[in-house]
Amino acid sequence: MTDKENPLEKLMTLQEVADYLQIKERTIYQWAQMDKIPGFKLGSAWRFKKSELDLWIEEQKRNTPRKDKQA
**Is the pLDDT assigned to residue 31 strictly greater than 60?**
yes
Global pTM value: 0.79
- H-type alpha helices, the chain: 14-21, 25-33, 50-63
Length of the chain: 71
How are beta strands 11-12 and 40-42 bridged, if at all? Answer: unpaired
**Is the pLDDT assigned to residue 19 strictly greater than 90?**
yes
What does the pLDDT read at residue 69? 61
Higher pLDDT, 54 or 67: 54
- Candidates 31, 47, 51; CA nearest to 39 is 47
Q: What is the pLDDT of residues 42-66, one digit of tens each?
A: 999 999 999 999 999 999 999 888 8
Neighbouring C-alpha atoms within 13 Å toward the C-beta of 65: 1
Distance between first and last Cα of the chain: 48
